[in-house]
Amino acid sequence: MYDIPSQPYEMTAAEAAALIADRKMAVSELTESCLERIAHRDSTVKAWICVDPDLALRKARELEKVLIHSGSRGPLHGLPFGVKDMIDTADMPTTNNSTIYDGFQPGTNANIVRNIIGTGGFVLGKTDTVEFAAGGRKALTRHPQDNSRTPGGSSSGSGAAVGDMQVPLAIGTQTGGSHIRPASFNGIYALKPTHNSVSWSGARQYSPTLDTLGWYGRSPDDLMLVARAFRMWNMEKPPAIKIKDLKIGVARTANWDKCAPETVAAIERAAKLLADQGATVFDLDMPEGCADMTEAQKTISAAEGIVQFLPEYLENYHLLHSDFRLRVENSKGVTPESYLEAVNLAALCRMRFDALFGTALDAVLTPSALGEAPQNPDATTGDAIMNSMWTLLHAPCVNIPGAKGPNDLPVGVTLAGPRLGDARLLAISKAVAPILDPGLRVSA
């Protein structure tokens, strides 16, 4: 059995879901506990742009009635979510952290929100984000353990809200490193799934080639719970994993020399711990062309951003942050030739990367961030350079916490897998997490 904590807000989503399903905890009990935590902590953390306690409790009590009279709606029944404020919600504003959309109220929910509601979950509130999840204005959110530091971005509020135990689950997005990097900084679990595994419809687009929705939790079981609810490939029966059978390739990538000592130490620690448990751990040479993928990702996002931000440029030029004006004006000097070269390189590298997996390789171990969360959150959310290649590869990635840096702040590591190998990657992550993360509660 799980060692259940004393306060509902401290529970993982999987723990809470089991208690709700067994009628041992009311949905409103979990919701009230989260709201109390938010009231106590969010003046410091500033993770949320919108929380309506009365609305949240009405949703919770309705879900209690549904459970009694109709049965569970699905795996997420009764679980509250934080939703990044560039994803449409029909009963809360979606501002994109832009003055253009201040107070904007969509008429419909984004598809991912519909998935949450359709499988029994509900939106507790909207979490702060970097403007358009792309640049411009930073979120007000601060790191839960040190408010002089960033929680990462662009999924700033979602990462901090889960990291500070204000909500068990939250939705983030990644175009470069906007989802995995905040998970590393906040010491939480995250899945950036295979590109297009979850519908993007209703979320603000930046780069269709890159934009990927993901979610945060506080255990691998949390990530798997949401993946099952969203009916991702092969999640109905994930494979059984034995550590001693695993073959883990360590990918230091072309940007390894930019990593802080704590990231180098986190990778070496993870490699040693897994090897000590019988896994085969070896240095992995990435396929030809992958060294150029950081620049390719920048080229593609710059090219596709021109198209995506043109409407605001034409209609609200005076309100549009200069960052986006420059993008529409192609300040990076992207050409049709350079864009096509980047797209073609990405297609080649995806096939080459997928081909690595099989009898010789089960998962890739690689950094989640350059180091600990940096200071000066008004100026930086950290560097995406260790994530952008994996985003362009469309590869599923899981952040696993456990290591600490010189300031006793979290430093995560990433496990990556082949496209549409999410179920196996999650099963591997669940198997290795107790080895890498000493703070993880596991079943006896």
Percent above pLDDT 70 for the chain: 99
Instruction: Read off the pLDDT of each residue in 40-69 and give the average, rounded to a whole number.
Output: 98
Q: Which of 250, 282, 179, 223 is nearest to 425 (CA)?
A: 223
Task: Please state, in angstroms and rounded to a whole number, the distance separating the CA atoms of residues 438 and 224.
Answer: 20
Q: What is the pLDDT of residues 274-320, one digit of tens each?
A: 999 999 999 999 999 999 999 999 999 999 999 999 999 999 999 99
- Look at residue 3 and tell me whether its pLDDT is greater than 70: no
What mean pLDDT, rounded, does the chain reach?
97
Confidence of residue 390 (pLDDT cuts 50, 70, 90): very high
Predicted confidence at residue 346, as pLDDT, reads: 98
Confidence of residue 443 (pLDDT cuts 50, 70, 90): low
Is residue 178 annotated as part of the catalytic site, yes or no? yes
8-241+395-412+423-436: what CATH class?
alpha beta
> What Rg, from alpha-carbon coordinates, does the chain have?
21
Give the predicted TM-score (pTM) of the model: 0.97
Task: Please state, in angstroms and rounded to a whole number, the distance separating the CA atoms of residues 72 and 63.
Answer: 9
Instruction: Decide the pairing of beta strands 247-250 and 363-367.
Output: parallel
CB-based burial of residue 23 (10 Å sphere; 0-12 exposed, 13-18 middle, 19+ buried)? exposed
DSSP labels, 315-342 = H-TTTS-HHHHHHHTTTT---HHHHHHH
Q: What is the pLDDT of residues 192-210, one digit of tens each?
A: 999 999 999 999 999 999 9
- Look at residue 100 and tell me whether its pLDDT is greater than 50: yes
Q: What is the pLDDT of residues 210-269, one digit of tens each?
A: 999 999 999 999 999 999 999 999 999 999 999 999 999 999 999 999 999 999 999 999
Catalytically annotated residue among 154, 207, 219, 388: 154
Confidence of residue 5 (pLDDT cuts 50, 70, 90): confident
- Look at residue 35 and tell me whether its pLDDT is greater than 90: yes
Q: What is the pLDDT of residues 164-182, one digit of tens each?
A: 999 999 999 999 999 999 9
Q: Are 59 and 30 in contact (CB under 8 A)?
A: no
Catalytically annotated residue among 46, 59, 84, 298: 84
Confidence of residue 335 (pLDDT cuts 50, 70, 90): very high
Predicted confidence at residue 1, as pLDDT, reads: 36
Q: Are 369 and 412 in contact (CB under 8 A)?
A: yes
- Look at residue 2 and tell me whether its pLDDT is greater than 50: no
Catalytically annotated residue among 28, 33, 98, 178: 178
Predicted confidence at residue 442, as pLDDT, reads: 74
